[in-house]
Chain A
Amino acid sequence: MTLQTLLLIGLIVFSALALLSRDLIKAAISFAAASLFLGIVFFRMGAPYAGVFEISVVAGLITVLFILAVALTEKKAEVRESPKARLIFPLFFIVFIIIDVLVMRGLIRKIPTLPAEAETGLFGQVLWGQRTFDLVGQVAVILAGVFAVLALFRKKDLDD
């Protein structure tokens, strides 16, 4: 239980750091660390598939993409934020945590826990046999993302 609490605290701290950090590279790395904590939580709660996805895709692949994108941006593009904007997030964050604790305290006792069972079946079977419809949706999301990039980064060709 203590380890679980520590993992969850780590997850929240690194998530907050990812949002608050002024340096984009540090933000990307904090985000990766937060996903790592989340991945371990998934493993410990008996959801190895979710854990593998979280660590390989979010902590690994997406971080690489973020860092590549940051490397491509120019220094001069930096914009100064108003001090108000820097205050609003921490304030909102604290209020959210308080509301979250209050709501969850009431809610958690009312939700019956599911009987704990480890995920069964082979990885492919779970994805292909049980959640095929979502798989079609995921393919569509990826397609949409690819075409969005194709469409939104076309400006250079037009200008030429």
Chain B
Amino acid sequence: METTLIVFFLVLPLALAAVLPLLGRLSKRVLPDILANAVFFVLVVNAFVLGRRIPAGEPLILQASWFGEPLGLRMAVDNFSLFLLLAVALVSLCVGLYSISYMEHFGSKPAYYALLLIMVAGMNGLILSTDLFGIYVFLEVAAVASYALVAFGLGRDEVEAAFKYLMLSVAASAFILISIAVIFFMTGSLALSDVARSLAAMDAGPVVAVCSALFLMGFGLKAALIPFHAWLPDAHPSAPAPISAMLSGLLIKVSGVYAMTRIFFHVFGLTPALSMVLMILGSVSIVLAAFLALGQKDLKRMLAYSSISQVGYVVLGLGLGTPLGIIGGLFHLFNHALAKGLLFLNSGSIQSAAGTRNLDEMAGLARRMPVTAVTSLVGSLSIAGVPPLNGFWSKLIIIIALVQAGQGGFALIAVLASILTLWYYLLFQRKAFFGKPEERWKDIREAPFWMTASTVVLALLCIGVGIFFSPVVAAWIEPAAGVLGKGIQFVLGAWGL
């Protein structure tokens, strides 16, 4: 039973994607809308059902066989991967609902949903993989779909951004692949547990250091950590709004942060040097990207820089490596996925209503678009870390963890950058929603039903997770952090054959 549930994460989106363009010939809009969202909904339910069946701190392993012969198809779910599967399912459901109205004027809905489903299947495959090469292959699946989705609008900017994204992403893949090749040479295996065992047994310090550096560059590029961030401020704003929400909310975290964390914690083991490098990269990203966001006039570019800054918090918390730091990092990852998904969807509503993304041109939209104004206020305050919203708690946990570990300097950076974050989000709120509405905005109306409905769901999630943060952390985050906290012992013990 459990194994079927695991397979669903990969097979359902992939199977629907394969037939969607054919079904699209029967019905160009309604059928793709319904089927794609049905699959996303099933995945959310699936994550909750699987969450009840998974033993705490132990993985569920699926070994597929074909007429009794074991196949090279192995997937595993533990509390860490389950928590990410839930985040992917939740955000993609909201994005799918939003797309019902938003993608009307783009045309070609079947191809759009097919690509979106493949991107989700790619992320789920990466999360479920127990093997370095599997991680690489599914990283590419999600990436190839995302290049096409960034260019989906077919405008000059979109195509240019997709090309830039493709080029830097290929460089990232090359770094990752070289590192995998070196590891395969050393250990003769690609399975995470075998590699971890072999590396622990041999004295391979310098080679592991080089591989760590290569992985750091590769996954750092995917996660858009500074100084590997150049592609993100172009790629994320150019994509259609729901895709920006997927990219900023999920993709950089799954193909960057998740893959990096899984390998550093469970294969190499987090050394003090690696921990310091991660913390420094995290803090540099937090501060620099916050300053860059402050100067942006384009709403989506500002949100994109803010993503870099917030991924910095996640990496800072995870890099610290203490149990509380890991909890803070993972919780912030989840909260940022919800809040940034929400804000990018809001930016799409604003753009399709007002026809502009330039913050200087907007004013007083709150009266015309009350739901968008309120939900975006929730998203902004959540990311800025204002209590009692979810982002406040995760930042607080990271800061407390830093102080407890005697890293006062990093804690101070995290606090000060949080004030910067609040500053630029309040600027956005003031420029876009407050003040006297201009004459030309008088005919603007609130976004269509499905667009507002999905933002309301995300805003309620932000508030709900903020108010009930204690049970959420206990049920989803702590078990995930526990799995990471065990280090390489976890894969050696539980994932070994």
Residue numbers of A with Cβ under 8 A of B are 103, 106-107, 110-114, 128-134, 136-141, 143-145, 147-148, 150-152, 154-155, 157-158
Contacts and interface: CB of A to CB of B under 8 A. Distances in A.
B226 interface: no
Given A128-B66, A141-B137, 14 more contacts: A110-B204, A112-B185, A112-B186, A129-B70, A134-B134, A136-B125, A140-B14, A140-B122, A141-B144, A144-B119, A147-B114, A148-B147, A151-B148, A154-B154
B50 interface: no
Contacts of B152: 151-152
A113 B114 contact: no
A110 B207 contact: yes
A147 B117 CA distance: 11
B257 to A, nearest CB: 20
B206 interface: yes
B17 A143 contact: yes
A144 B145 contact: yes
26 contacts: A103-B210, A106-B206, A107-B206, A111-B182, A111-B185, A111-B186, A113-B185, A128-B72, A129-B72, A133-B73, A133-B134, A134-B134, A136-B10, A137-B141, A140-B118, A140-B138, A141-B137, A144-B115, A144-B118, A144-B145, A145-B144, A147-B114, A147-B118, A147-B145, A152-B148, A154-B108
Contacts of B74: 133
Is the contact region of chain A dominated by helix, strand, or loop, or is it mixed? helix
A138 B129 CA distance: 14
B137 A129 contact: no
B18 to A, nearest CB: 6
Interface string B206-245: 1100100000000000000000000000000000000000
Contacts of B154: 152, 154-155
A151 B75 contact: no
Most buried by A among B10, B137, B185, B186: B137
B21 interface: yes
A139 B125 CA distance: 12
Contact of B21 (A133, A138, A139, A147): A147
User: Sorted from nearest, which 5 A-B pairs have the closest CB atoms?
Assistant: A148-B148, A137-B137, A132-B73, A151-B111, A130-B72
B448 interface: no
A85 to B, nearest CB: 14
A110 B206 contact: yes
Most buried by B among A112, A113, A133, A157: A133
Interface in B119-146: 119, 121-122, 125, 129, 131, 133-134, 137-138, 140-141, 144-145
Contacts of A155: 154
B21 A129 contact: no
B151 interface: yes
Most buried by B among A140, A141, A145, A157: A140
Most buried by A among B114, B131, B204: B114
Contacts of B185: 111-114
Contact of A132 (B72, B188, B206): B72
B439 interface: no
B369 interface: no
B273 interface: no
Nearest to A154: B108
A112 B121 CA distance: 36
B137 A111 contact: no
Contacts of A141: 137, 140-141, 144
Contacts of B206: 106-107, 110
A132 B144 CA distance: 20
B342 to A, nearest CB: 26
B107 interface: yes
B104 interface: no
Interface string B255-273: 0000000000000000000
Contacts of B73: 132-133, 136
Contact of A137 (B69, B134, B186): B134
A151 B125 contact: no
B352 to A, nearest CB: 18
Interface string B480-494: 000000000000000
Given A133-B75, A134-B137, A140-B118, A150 B21 contact: yes
B141 A140 contact: yes
A82 to B, nearest CB: 17
B140 A137 contact: yes
